[in-house]
Amino acid sequence: MSILTRDEILRAEDIKTEKVPVPEWGGDVLVRTLTGTERDRIEAYMVENRIKGKGRGLNYENLRARLVVSSAVDEKGARLFKRTDIETLGQKSAAALDRVFEVAQRLSGFAPKDVEELTKNS
């Protein structure tokens, strides 16, 4: 494997998409890889200072909806949802959200071990 240049890295087509069947919603959802900035934003949201006690904890509130909002796209790659849709989307079927969440999580390399790392390093 060769050593990449800056330009090669910046031109690389590294955003993948995958179609996820969601029968509860009557069709498929197109899910794409998170960008580094999007993943950082989700991780920053999860890490929450504990006012009482020492250390930090993780904020999982609407995590599934938050990840789906960040990764569900149309056929042109434009996001389907706005951040203001998180609460409303969080009210949808947990099974449907989980199906899309798991694909978004896998595509973005956002595994349970990463959540553990957030807890250890915060």
What's the pLDDT tens digit per position in 33-83? Answer: 999 999 999 988 888 765 555 566 778 889 999 999 999 999 999 999 999
When the candidates are 3.30.56.10, 1.10.10.1150, 3.30.2220.20, 3.40.50.300, the CATH number that belongs to 13-121 is 3.30.2220.20
Cα separations in angstroms, 16 against 20, 34, 35, 51, 94: 13, 9, 10, 39, 24
pTM of the predicted structure, to 2 decimals: 0.84
Coil, strand or helix at 119: helix
Mean pLDDT of the chain: 88
Coarse DSSP helix, strand, coil percentages of the chain, rounded to the nearest 5 percent: 50, 15, 35
